[in-house]
Structure 1
Amino acid sequence: MEHFDTIVVGAGVSGLTAARLLTRHGRRVLVLEARDRVGGRVSTDHRLGRATDMGASWIHGVTDSPVAAAAEAFGMRTVEFTVGGYQPDSRPIAHYGPDGVRLSAEAAASYVADIHAVDATLRDVVAESAPDASYGDVTEQALAAQGWDEERTQRVREYLEHRSEEQYGAWIDDLAAHGLDDDSIDGDEVVFPDGYDILPRRLAEGLDIRLTHEVSRVLWSPDGVVVDTDFGSFGADTAIVTVPVGVLQSDEFVIEPPLPEPVAGALTGFAMNAFEKVFLRFATKFWDDDVYVIRQQGPEGRWWHSWYDLTALHDEPTLLTFAAGPAAVETLHWSEERIIESVLEQLRRLYGDRVPKPTHVHVTDWQDDPFSHGSYAYMTVGSRTEDHDTLATPIGGVLHLAGEATWTDDPATVPAAMFSGHRAAANVLGRDVPIEDAWAERTATD
């Protein structure tokens, strides 16, 4: 059985960051990856001569972002596209009312002001909420405090429901009251016209990575770890496990002995979401040139309510929408054709016969992915914000968990994955190391 200083399970950004740092600081590291590629939930489709990011797409705020620094070091081209935390304004947004007619500038400003008023109230309501409160509970309390009529209240209620879905792929009553506390956007947001997957491919350079090695068991003891795969077993002094929460919670992935407290308890506070992307490319652009986002209110927007204009990425008319939360669950086993017709029906409410058939379509299927069981993790009702960091508590001096769900500050993002990989590497080394060593050209030594 081959023996290493450290085995990293998972070649996503978290695992690659940890492996690269450890390797550059003199450790012999093996990375085991179940997929036939690196990147995990950073996945880019390069068919048809263009890059389509099926998983992670954005850097949500470039200020002090390690991903932005790594992208710059790797020469990754970026295009500014700031959408914020399902923001209602600050960038050109076309709001359409329940009747399918675009709101006037005055009506849109009034609607946005209502959202800001509720958010101002919501901060205090969330801070004072009970441990078992849902995001739905606190938003209803904040809405009631405004004293509005039902129509006005319903418009903002819909917005808050959609924000829960688009931020975390979860229905508002299933998300913990503090579930959106840690979302932060500092600086412009950017996307990658050449694909996000450049980042993991560059991080993977020079590492010992065994693809298509599906891990079934991690056996740990004070003496070290043994990792079982379909290609045999591997031993190491330490292990860093970076698989998604959905895999950690599955019966197909066994940690033995089972995770101790407080890690085990923290893990139960998370669930994988239902969040899929639908890309539609068109031969001609039928929507307005001056908008980032198209949004519709009312019951017709229950599922398809927001479309993001990605034309600037490849100079080709492109809209991105999301099947999130209940919409993603309901449409999971729909055919691609049925999903597209459902989306086009809503676009035609707003733009009529100007909406043609798309020339190309991409629809993701993360819920059925056996190596993730969803797109990313969210806090379930009753969980606590600190559960993120608790997941990363070192176990027995030999086992470490990392990944986007283990980082409290802006979880469910690629920066969170990178930061968590850095922390795990530092814990294995027993000292801090510069995160910049993960992408620096020079080779660091002890």
Structure 2
Amino acid sequence: MDNSDVLIIGAGFAGLTAARELSRHGYKTTILEARDRIAGRTHLEEHLGRNLELGGTWVHWTQPYVWAEMGRYGIHPVSGPDFTQAYWSTGNQQHTGHPDELMDLLDAPNQALLADSRKYFPLPWSPLSNPEITNIDGVTLSEAIDHLDLPADQRQLLRSFWTLNFNGALDQAAYTQALRWCAAASGSWQLMFETCATFKIEGGTRRLAEAILADSNAELLLEHPVASIHRDADGVVVRTISGHRFTARQLILAVPLSTLNDIDIQPELSATKREAATRSHAGRGAKLWVKVKGQQERFVAMGPEDAPLNFVQVEYIDANTTTLVCFGPVAAAVDVTDTAAAQRILDELVPGLEVLEIAGHNWVDDKYARSTWSMHYTGYLTESLAELQRPEGRIRIAGSDIANGWGGFIDGAIESGLDAARTVAEQLENQLRSSAVLTV
């Protein structure tokens, strides 16, 4: 049996950050990670002749937590490419032009859709501060877009743009989530889009995760999937699937919301927490890397919202090949091992490409993720977020899925990890004071 002050379940960015903070404050901290690696739903791995980000990737200076962490460890941002060609589909027609043309077509619709972002979220990192959000949290993004007086072509492009952002379908996607993202980018949809896909981490996401871990005094145990958690007035007892037993005074559950109910927690977490985990969120799509023959022009391509891959962009150009990153709204529609299928999909988006190799990871079928980045359904913000953030006894939940600011990003995970560590440290200090009083 292993005894700790704090047990942290999950070694993604939230868990690693919380572990660093608590262990460096002198608390014996143990991280139990189900996988054979750290970094959660980010995963840098060698494929197609280079290191590729199979999961979360992008960071930005509008994201204070991750930007500060990069500065702490001397890790610089790497800017993405400037694009010179764009392809897009509206109706049954394919169009070719400069990327600025595509952005111009999206400008007025996004301006109209997101005009009230700062009205509803004047303090983006306090998303529940404005009671008026209860009036719109039941509105789907699909409904909000359809409410706009747009020509059919612009409506289709706008829907595809937001299908990309949500990495899922729009029929249950929360309009409030779109407004939150835009508010966090100072109310500018262009800055929001820059935040989503411009700057990467020098050396990759793994470099930052490893830097945080190296700065920690916590014990990390890989390949320790948790089966059950029992909590009472004295502490928590955790059992892994292999039968190992761990005890602690406090516990942080830093796992994806989609997997929360896979752990047998007794007494059960609140019904609201369990229902939110069952419903999860809209991020259930695909990310695929594709190597094609020849040096291609730096292009972006946007297809129909229901296409298996509705967005493609050039990421790397080598001597004889070009590597593309692609996204689609339904993971099951993209086989990350089927090169011929990828060729058929790309033929519908960009003419004349010859697919050589592909790589990817199905995060929805991954039992330790069951989702991609968190983009919330209607009602989540006003009905679930505060409860998911509320501690239950000695258990706190952490992760990008429940962040106040940039949920769905590394930044949100770090924010949540810092918050969990602070509140756990406060609780441990209170317990120490109570014990000292009792011994006097």
In which range does the TM-score fall when normalised by the shorter chain?
Answer: 0.7 to 0.9
Name the residue aligned to 1:436.
none
Give 2:342's match in structure 1, choosing from 340, 343, 350: 340
1:5-24 paired onto structure 2 within 5 Å: 5-24=5-24
Name the residue aligned to 2:252.
240
2:211 aligned partner, one-letter code? R
CA distance in 1, matches of 2:47, 2:237: 39
Residues 432 and 338 (structure 1), Cα distance of their counterparts in 2 relative to 1, 3 Å cut: farther
1:319 aligned partner, one-letter code? L
Residues 110 and 369 (structure 1), Cα distance of their counterparts in 2 relative to 1, 3 Å cut: closer
Q: Deviations for 1:344-396, whole angstroms, at most 9, x for unmatched residues? A: 3124xx433xx2233x3212211110111121333223332573343121111
Does the alignment pair 1:134 with 2:145? no
Give 2:269's match in structure 1, choosing from 239, 251, 259: 259
Does the alignment pair 1:94 with 2:101? no
2:171 aligned partner, one-letter code? D
Name the residue aligned to 1:381.
378
Judge conservation of contact 2:13–2:40 (CA < 8 Å) in 1: yes
2:239 aligned partner, one-letter code? D
Judge conservation of contact 1:246–1:272 (CA < 8 Å) in 2: no
Q: Deviations for 1:78-121, whole angstroms, at most 9, x for unmatched residues? A: 321389xxxxxxx7662434432314799657623442454256
Residues 168 and 58 (structure 1), Cα distance of their counterparts in 2 relative to 1, 3 Å cut: same
Judge conservation of contact 1:394–1:401 (CA < 8 Å) in 2: yes
Q: Secondary structure at the match of 1:377?
A: coil
Does the alignment pair 1:407 with 2:413? no
Does the alignment pair 1:167 with 2:165? yes
Judge conservation of contact 1:407–1:417 (CA < 8 Å) in 2: yes
Judge conservation of contact 1:245–1:270 (CA < 8 Å) in 2: yes
Give the CA deviation at 1:233. Answer: 0.8
Name the residue aligned to 1:426.
422
Q: Secondary structure at the match of 1:430?
A: helix
Give the CA deviation at 1:131. Answer: 4.5
1:50 aligned partner, one-letter code? R
* Identical pairs, percent: 21
Higher alpha-carbon deviation: 199-208 or 128-137 = 128-137
Residues 106 and 375 (structure 1), Cα distance of their counterparts in 2 relative to 1, 3 Å cut: closer
1:191 aligned partner, one-letter code? K
CA distance in 1, matches of 2:315, 2:247: 46
Residues 279 and 265 (structure 1), Cα distance of their counterparts in 2 relative to 1, 3 Å cut: closer
Q: Secondary structure at the match of 2:348?
A: helix
Give 1:356's match in structure 2, choosing from 354, 378, 381: 354
Give 1:222's match in structure 2, choosing from 219, 222, 233: 233
- Uncovered stretches (5+) of structure 2, i.e. residues with no partner: 121-131, 186-190, 430-440
CA distance in 1, matches of 2:333, 2:46: 28
Give the CA deviation at 1:341. Answer: 1.9
Q: Secondary structure at the match of 1:156?
A: helix
Residues 242 and 127 (structure 1), Cα distance of their counterparts in 2 relative to 1, 3 Å cut: closer
Give the CA deviation at 1:406. Answer: 1.3
Residues 129 and 92 (structure 1), Cα distance of their counterparts in 2 relative to 1, 3 Å cut: farther
Name the residue aligned to 1:319.
324
Q: Secondary structure at the match of 1:390?
A: helix
Judge conservation of contact 1:307–1:320 (CA < 8 Å) in 2: yes
1:341 aligned partner, one-letter code? Q
Name the residue aligned to 1:87.
none
Q: Deviations for 1:279-310, whole angstroms, at most 9, x for unmatched residues? A: 112342233x4x5x2334x58x7333321221
Does the alignment pair 1:304 with 2:304? no
Name the residue aligned to 1:437.
none
Residues 168 and 276 (structure 1), Cα distance of their counterparts in 2 relative to 1, 3 Å cut: same
Higher alpha-carbon deviation: 278-287 or 12-21 = 278-287
CA distance in 2, matches of 1:343, 1:395: 47
Does the alignment pair 1:276 with 2:286? yes
Judge conservation of contact 1:267–1:391 (CA < 8 Å) in 2: no
Name the residue aligned to 1:443.
none
CA distance in 2, matches of 1:314, 1:57: 24
CA distance in 2, matches of 1:413, 1:236: 29
Name the residue aligned to 2:70.
71
TM-score, normalised relative to structure 1? 0.80
CA distance in 1, matches of 2:3, 2:98: 67
RMSD (CA atoms): 3.3
Name the residue aligned to 2:210.
201
Give the CA deviation at 1:55. Answer: 0.7
- Uncovered stretches (5+) of structure 1, i.e. residues with no partner: 84-90, 434-446
Judge conservation of contact 1:263–1:392 (CA < 8 Å) in 2: no
TM-score, normalised relative to structure 2? 0.81
2:86 aligned partner, one-letter code? A
Give the CA deviation at 1:70. Answer: 2.0
1:120-159 paired onto structure 2 within 5 Å: 130-142=136-148, 146=149, 152=151, 154-159=152-157
Name the residue aligned to 1:31.
31
Higher alpha-carbon deviation: 36-45 or 386-395 = 386-395
Residues 100 and 262 (structure 1), Cα distance of their counterparts in 2 relative to 1, 3 Å cut: closer
Give the CA deviation at 1:195. Answer: 2.0
Residues 395 and 345 (structure 1), Cα distance of their counterparts in 2 relative to 1, 3 Å cut: same
CA distance in 2, matches of 1:226, 1:122: 47
Give the CA deviation at 1:254. Answer: 1.3
Residues 28 and 211 (structure 1), Cα distance of their counterparts in 2 relative to 1, 3 Å cut: same
1:388 aligned partner, one-letter code? L
